Amino acid sequence: MSIFEELQQAIIDGRAPVVRELTERGLKEGIKPHEFFPKAIIPAMDEVGRRMRDCEFFIPEVLIAARAARAATDILRPLMQGEEAIKPAGTVIIGTVKGDLHDIGKNIVAMMLESAGFRIVDLGVDVSGEKIVDAVKQHNANFVAMSALLTTTMVNMKSIIEALATAGLRDKVKVLVGGAPLTDAWAHSIGADGYGKDAPGAVELARKFVSAPA
Ligand code: B1M
């Protein structure tokens, strides 16, 4: 088994200490930091996403695998600055909308997007339109990903999209939304660019926009 195969398996199994050890060993053996993404981390999280869709994995396994993937990305992230080949797929401002404190799903989405090569700026929970507008400007972001778990807070996504438009940033970013009470039709109705049913769905959506940005 190659080190990349071992790493994939360790991520899928959620063995964070093993992931850390294998990543450090790989680096010592001369593997470039950016190589870990397409050869181990992304395929592993793709497999986690597939298992989640097929109901072979449930939330605890997904969280544990995402945390294990993060053990690798935490080591690799500081080493990748200045490395040309790791130019991020895009910068995503992510947050749970104003009034809403649920962040478990949002954190999974953030970790999976990060594992897929996106740069993540996580604003946390209870995030206002103003905060998102400021972050888009500050980080020159090309994606905004919003999460809402309450029927009373999902409506706040619409005002955040309006705030982006008022600030003249609406055409600069793709707005992706998700969360248990949302639907594709609803996302459409508030003017979002896409709806991610789950974390793998959010990654798929973001990747689609990267390959066809228009
Ligand atoms: Co709350 N809560 N909660 N809660 N809570 C729900 C959402 C609820 C459905 C429970 C119920 O009544 N059956 C209900 C909402 C009802 C409604 O609006 N129709 C509810 C309520 C009412 C409340 C309070 C109002 C309770 C109260 O105080 N009376 C209160 C509100 C607080 C607030 O936010 N202001 C509240 C509080 C809490 C806790 C703090 C205790 C805790 C949150 C802890 C935390 O997140 N750190 C909590 C929890 C844990 C839940 C449940 C049980 C689980 C939510 C969760 O984490 N799911 C939830 C019931 C349930 O869903 N079964 C419930 C797991 C997570 C992985 O899934 O978040 O759906 P999810 O994320 C998925 C997808 O939705 C998607 O991908 C994720 C991974 O696949 N996704 C995205 C999510 N965000 C995305 C963004 C994207 C794309 C995809 O961007 C592109």
pLDDT at 197: 92
Residues 139-183 have pLDDT tens digits of 999 999 999 999 999 999 999 999 999 999 999 999 999 999 999
Confidence of residue 53 (pLDDT cuts 50, 70, 90): confident
Cα of 102 to ligand 1 centre, how many Å?
A: 5
Structure tokens at 19: 């992931």
Minimal CA–CA distance to 196: which of 117, 97, 123, 105?
A: 105
The protein residue with its alpha carbon nearest to ligand 1, atom 66, reads 105
DSSP state of 92: E
Cα of 19 to ligand 1 centre, how many Å?
A: 29
Residues with CB under 6 A from ligand 1: 59, 99-106, 108-109, 145, 147, 149-152, 176-181, 196, 198-199, 202
**Which of 149, 176, 195, 203 has the most ligand 1 atoms within 8 A of CB, as the residue to mutate?**
149
User: Which residue, chain included where needed, has tokens 């695998």?
Assistant: 65
212 or 209, higher pLDDT: 209
pLDDT at 81: 59
The protein residue with its alpha carbon nearest to ligand 1, atom 70, reads 180
- The rounded distance, in Å, linking the Cα atoms of 111 and 190 is 26
* pTM for this predicted structure: 0.84
- The Cβ-side half-sphere exposure at 15, using a 13 Å CA radius, reads 11
| Mean pLDDT of the residues in the chain | 91
- The rounded distance, in Å, linking the Cα atoms of 85 and 82 is 9
Residues 76-126 have pLDDT tens digits of 877 865 554 456 789 999 999 999 999 888 988 988 888 788 999 999 999
- The rounded distance, in Å, linking the Cα atoms of 136 and 144 is 8
- The rounded distance, in Å, linking the Cα atoms of 41 and 66 is 10
**Which of 102, 173, 175 has the most ligand 1 atoms within 8 A of CB, as the residue to mutate?**
102
The residues, any chain, with a CB within 8 Å of residue 77's CB and separated by 6 or more, are none
Amino acid occupying residue 71: A
Helix (H) / strand (E) containing 199: helix 199-211
Cα of 103 to ligand 1 centre, how many Å?
A: 8
- The Cβ-side half-sphere exposure at 22, using a 13 Å CA radius, reads 24
The protein residue with its alpha carbon nearest to ligand 1, atom 39, reads 102
